[in-house]
Amino acid sequence: MKKVNLILGAAAIALAFTSCKNENEERAEKTVDTYVVYVDSIGNIAAADAKANWAEIEASYQQRTMEAEAALADMKDKEAAQKKLDESKAKYEELKAKVQAEAAAATPDRKTEIRNALFGEGVVGEDMSFAWVNKDNILKVYNDFYNEFDKNQNSYSREDLDEIKLLYEALDARKNTVEKEGLDAKDNRKIAELKIKFAPKFKWERITSKGEENAQAKDKAE
């Protein structure tokens, strides 16, 4: 009788272990399947909503990825489960790259922002060509440039001022050509007045921005 009880006890333990193992496998399968569905659902989110909430999506994705990867230990067919995970990861990275590309396209870099503000939307490209400036519009170009700088001079960083300097020099180089093409003397005098007003303001901003830069570096060192 004692031997029978031992056998029955062993069988009960084995059954309980099998049942536990099956529950773990089912739970693991559900975790992996939920992960796959979650990644698929991201692709159905409207582009604008995805961009606006990407930080939250990324955090949730990382958490679910960790849970799915941990669940692999309890999977019977680990190879098939791993394949599911890898396919979903690849799909997510593709979605992420798309959202990041759209966000980058919608947000111009700082140099582009400065060029658009000083000269107009999209008129100054990477080659910094000012071929579009001629004797008829050059005074307006200088005037708009000066007014924009004057309005925002206190907000420019050291890097911004470096970019403005390059743009100003390129505009001046174009002016030399325009003068030979028949620039009106009256317009030329007005441009000279704007240049005289601009020079000390720009110099002052360069000096103060350098001072602020040094002060910040000192604070960090301390």
Contact 42, 94 (CB under 8 A): no
* pLDDT value of position 19: 47
* pLDDT value of position 142: 97
pTM for the whole thing?
A: 0.52
Distance CA 134, CA 173 (A): 12
* pLDDT value of position 47: 79
Dihedral-angle region of residue 122 (phi above 0 means left; psi in -120 to 50 means alpha; beta otherwise): left
Q: In terms of Cα–Cα distance, which of 125, 171, 146 is closest to 179?
A: 171
Contact 149, 164 (CB under 8 A): yes
Contact 182, 135 (CB under 8 A): yes
Render each residue's pLDDT in the chain as its tens digit; 222 residues.
Answer: 444 343 333 434 333 444 445 788 888 888 888 888 888 888 888 877 888 888 888 888 899 999 988 888 888 888 888 998 899 899 989 988 888 887 766 666 889 999 999 999 889 988 888 999 999 999 999 999 999 999 999 999 999 999 999 999 999 999 999 999 999 999 999 999 999 999 999 999 989 886 555 444 444 445
Q: Could you tell me the sign of the dihedral formed by the alpha carbons of 148, 153, 159, 163, in that order?
A: positive
* pLDDT value of position 122: 86
Count the Cβ atoms, other than its own, within 10 Å of residue 220. Answer: 7
Please report, in angstroms and rounded to a whole number, the separation of the first and last CA atoms in the chain: 82
* pLDDT value of position 213: 55
Phi and psi angles of residue 73, each rounded to the nearest 5 degrees, phi first: -60, -25
* pLDDT value of position 7: 36
CA atoms within 13 A on the CB side of 100: 9
CA atoms within 13 A on the CB side of 64: 21
* pLDDT value of position 104: 67
Q: Could you tell me the sign of the dihedral formed by the alpha carbons of 30, 31, 33, 37, in that order?
A: positive
